[in-house]
Copies of this chain bind each other. A is one copy, B any other.
Amino acid sequence: MGRDYYTAAVQGPHQHFELGSFALDSGDTLPDARLAYRTHGTLNPAKDNGVLVPHMYSGTSASMEGLIGEGRALDPSRYFIILPDQFGSGLSSSPSNTPAPFDRGHFPAVTIADDVRAQHRLVTEQFGITSLHAVVGWSMGGQQTYEWAVRHPDMVHRAAIFAATAKTPVQNQFFIDVHTELLRSDPAFAAGFYADSDDVHLGLSRHAMAFTMMSTTHRFFRDEVWRQIGFGSVDEFALGFMRGHFQPMDPNNLLCQAAKWREADVSRHFGGDMAAALGRITARCFVFPFGGDLFFPAEDHDPDVAMIRDARLRVSDSPLGHFAMFGLLPEDVTAIDEALAEALKS
Contact = CB atoms under 8 A, between A and B. Distances in A.
A127 interface: no
Interface stretch (A46-54, A60-68, A206-214, A322-330): A206-214
Given A187-B187, A238-B174, A222 B169 contact: yes
A221 B178 contact: no
Contact of A171 (B169, B206, B213, B300): B213
Nearest to A213: B174
A299 interface: yes
Given A185-B182, A209-B181, A299 B219 contact: yes
A300 B222 contact: yes
A171 B218 contact: yes
A175 interface: yes
Identical subunits present: 2
A25 B175 CA distance: 35
Given A178-B182, A185-B182, A299 B222 contact: yes
Contact of A213 (B178, B186, B212, B300): B178
A297 B213 CA distance: 14
Interface residues of A, number: 28
Contacts of A9: none
Interface in A165-182: 169-171, 174-175, 177-178, 181-182
A171 B185 CA distance: 23
A326 to B, nearest CB: 18
A299 B300 CA distance: 21
A234 interface: yes
Contacts of A213: 171, 174-175, 177-178
Contacts of A206: 181, 185
A210 B210 CA distance: 10
Contacts of A212: 174
Nearest to A177: B209
A171 B169 CA distance: 21
B174 A299 contact: no
A225 to B, nearest CB: 11
Interface string A174-199: 11011001100111000000000000
A178 B174 CA distance: 13
Interface of A: 169-171, 174-175, 177-178, 181-182, 185-187, 206, 209-210, 212-213, 218-222, 234, 238, 294, 297, 299-300
14 contacts: A169-B221, A171-B220, A174-B212, A174-B213, A174-B221, A177-B209, A177-B213, A181-B206, A181-B209, A185-B206, A218-B299, A218-B300, A222-B299, A294-B294
